[in-house]
Amino acid sequence: MEIKNKSIALLIDAENISSNYIETIIDEANKYGTINYRRVYGDWTTPQLNPWKIKISEFGLTPIQQYAYTFGKNSSDFTLIIDAMDILYSGKVNSFCIVSSDSDFTKLVTRLREDNMFVFGMGESKTPISLVNSCETFAYLDKMLKDDKKEEIVEAEVKEPKKKALKAEPKNVSSITPLRRIKQELTNIIDTNLEDDGWAYWSQIAALLRKKFPGFHPRNYGDNTTILQFFEKMKEFEVKKEATVSYIRNKK
């Protein structure tokens, strides 16, 4: 992915995201530019957030307190949304990174983008597709993490009881788009964007594919390569490179 020089407000829903992801979150956000705000939200009076307290000073995070006035409801949602709008009107950033798997932030992302903000998201595979598709791009944290870190998260979740959710979530639900649909859509995009010589500019195709599927990345399917290399391995597509320009077409 192209590195961008953006000023970023990083807003993390601590009640919804494991602290074990923090290094991955920071590394991914840094790819887009400079992180001006590093805020993490939750009810810090509860023992459930103790693992996050250890990470706060290490990663320069600012904890934002929100008391749980209603049992079973993720109260940090409201404070995060209010803060996001305050930051938006301050004019100090041009990009937001929302870290949560909670669909309640979908409207916030849509509102920020209406003001021409670049908004990218991070969460787990269980993140509802509505939130994924509202972002410019979305990274699945559980697919990015190394195997040793995944084991740490499993151990932490066993020791640390999860906060009761307002709505029961179906088990084993993933918003990751099936690969067959990705390939079908890529085939259509290529066919409608061919040049006179029968090839399509890869940069244009990649941008269109990203708009269609903001959460797409080869690592979601177990292959941590570049997107072009990922499709180059498949029998359905053919790739050629000339100097710094790459082209792609569907195999006949």
Q: What is the pLDDT of residues 201-252, one digit of tens each?
A: 999 999 999 999 999 999 999 988 999 999 999 999 999 999 899 999 999 8
Indicate which CATH number applies to the domain containing 43: 3.40.50.1010
- What is the span of the domain harbouring residue 202? 179-250
Residue 152 Cα distances to 24, 25, 116, 140, angstroms: 14, 16, 38, 17
Mean pLDDT on 134-151: 79
Cβ-based neighbour number of residue 61 at 10 Å: 21
Same domain, 44 and 140: yes
CA-CA-CA-CA dihedral for 30, 33, 38, 42, to nearest 10? -70
Q: pLDDT: is 69 or 237 the higher one?
A: 237
Same domain, 194 and 152: no
The pTM (predicted TM-score) of the whole model is 0.79
| 97 and 15 belong to one structural domain | yes
> pLDDT value at position 147?
45
Question: How far is Cα 228 from Cα 249, in angstroms, rounded to an integer?
Answer: 12
Three-state SS annotation for 75-94 = CHHHHHHHHHHHHHHHCCCC
Q: Which region among 38-42, 153-157, 208-212, 241-245 has the lowest average model confidence (pLDDT)?
A: 153-157
